Structure 1
């Protein structure tokens, strides 16, 4: 699954780079999504494979915090890119004459750094707070350094860590998801005003891949976070499966969603 994720995302990056007709805002956003998917899957699967192949179960604190930073920072960046793509669809469908003037190459080029800064500002304080003085055990009951799994190891008060972590998680998911949903409500109203059923289906088909990608991204993260907070009787292997799913399944499915629905690709 990891090899499939790498191959399909690298293929999309190479295709958009080589084919000049794909040098458009939508495909640049798709490239950003592919880079994020590669970072998320590689930051977890590389260590997971060394555990399986070589029994290398040890990880020092700095490496653990680095892995955790990349995972949670780029999940936040991913959410920001999805929001930007929802806005792109809104402009294309509801105000197509302004699309070229609003979403220029320079504007799209700024989206990546802006989303990355957004992730660093949110996740940076979490890493500082996690340098807790004492841990009651050194065994992480997880296949990688997931934030909530590491916080539970601390023997000092972790109330602030828990509240900040959950607050950031739901703030990012809820606000970005709400903004994306608002965009698609407006899009649906515009689509219903189109003259023919064929035009409506074609326009909705343009948005369906993005909607599917958002669901695949948001639902596993929300379920995993909720089971950590409230599912105290959920077996550890279920936590592990959910945590691996939301970092491995989207990098495989995102390119499929977009490639299948895009004639140019």
Structure 2
């Protein structure tokens, strides 16, 4: 059975007390560590160091720390932004960039995401790059072409591109209750895999799926070949729910 990777994107849902409760359940569960599943927890910036203390002190090597974003700038007068070096300093090994919500609300472009990815890679952090067409009425053929172009762009322009993670986020599924169209999603994943293969990166880079990942949908999604893991939003904030998704 394939071992999947799970990215818990906590967005702005988790307070300090809810984080405490989450880890209380983690440490009380005697079976969770046995699954040896790679889990990346991505809290807000202000809780990165706090969550990191839980991840590191309890000897859970399969639980790693990730950020929800980083600045496109390495340093300088950029009020409110957080550089890749600071994320690295608190123990992050991954960072989400180019998420659909950032692209929509902050008009983030692939060029901006590229700068972020380059900064992350330069300090040894693996970027989790959100890809997908941000149009409600797009069809699967358009999505396939768009995503293939995105992957080519990032691989060709990131010098140390081995180890990148690409999270496909179908626009209709973000924050919705709709079950994924498995046939269509498989077509997109196949195109992503074929694109990686063109650059001999199919075994070096990972393909993730994000968008209404829950206990029901994940059982269907796990059947898709070449899919390496999942980017989970609100469903990852409750430990028991997350465990059910993973297990």
Instruction: Please confirm whether the aligned pair reaches a TM-score higher than 0.5, indicating the same fold.
Output: no
Bigger share in helix:
1
- Normalising by structure 2, we get a TM-score of 0.28
Higher RCO (CA < 8 A, seq sep 6+): 1
Bigger share in strand:
2
- Larger Rg belongs to: 1
- Normalising by structure 1, we get a TM-score of 0.27
